[in-house]
Amino acid sequence: MALTSHRSKRKASGGRYQAARKKRVFEIRSQPVLTKLGERKVKTVRGVGGNTKQRTLSVAEINVYDPKTKKYSREKVKTIVENNANRHFVRRNIMTKGAVVDTSKGKVKVTSRPGQVGVIHGILVK
């Protein structure tokens, strides 16, 4: 069954909305991309209007911004330390926006969306 961005069938109270229509093609969305830790793999996907997105399937390095020196550096990711999206993502080494990863410079919080951009950015966390 296709995933859609259409309104839920149920209300907040638990009651049901009357189905006025079926799913539409423009509401269909893709399966979530769970970016893993490993050799860099990127997949290009066609979007609405012929635009393209880079789906990062796996990544080994991250662009780290250091607020003190105001400079970027490319660092190798050792492991994922914390992920507020799902606690099981830490065990499975899955990276999402907001995840905290361990690098040689220290802990880095991911600020870009790995499922929608080709390059991962992060900011150094104290």
Q: Note whether residue 41 is domain-resident.
A: yes
The enclosing domain of 119 has a CATH number of 3.10.290.70
Q: What pLDDT was estimated at residue 20?
A: 87
Q: Note whether residue 18 is domain-resident.
A: no
Q: Average of pLDDT values for 69-98?
A: 95
Q: Note whether residue 22 is domain-resident.
A: no
Q: Note whether residue 116 is domain-resident.
A: yes
Q: What pLDDT was estimated at residue 23?
A: 86
What 3-state DSSP class applies to 20? coil
Judge whether residue 107 has pLDDT over 90: yes
Q: Note whether residue 6 is domain-resident.
A: no
Judge whether residue 36 has pLDDT over 90: yes
Q: Note whether residue 119 is domain-resident.
A: yes
Query: Do residues 9 and 19 make contact, with C-beta atoms less than 8 angstroms apart?
Result: yes
Q: Note whether residue 111 is domain-resident.
A: yes
Q: Note whether residue 7 is domain-resident.
A: no
Q: What is the count of structural domains for the chain?
A: 1
Residue range(s) defining the domain that contains residue 71: 29-124
Q: What pLDDT was estimated at residue 97?
A: 95
pLDDT in tens, 47-64: 889 999 899 999 999 999
Q: DSSP letters along 70-105, please? A: TEEEEEEEEEEEE-SS-THHHHTTEE-TT-EEEETT
DSSP lists the bridge partners of residue 55 as 43
CA angle 109, 57, 72 (to 5 degrees): 35
Distances (CA, A) of 91 to 13, 44, 84, 126: 35, 27, 13, 23
Confidence tier at 117 by pLDDT (50, 70, 90): confident
Q: What pLDDT was estimated at residue 26?
A: 87
Residue 122 token pair: 């992060």
Confidence tier at 75 by pLDDT (50, 70, 90): very high
The model carries a pTM of: 0.81
pLDDT in tens, 7-22: 888 999 999 999 888 8
User: DSSP label at 38?
Assistant: S
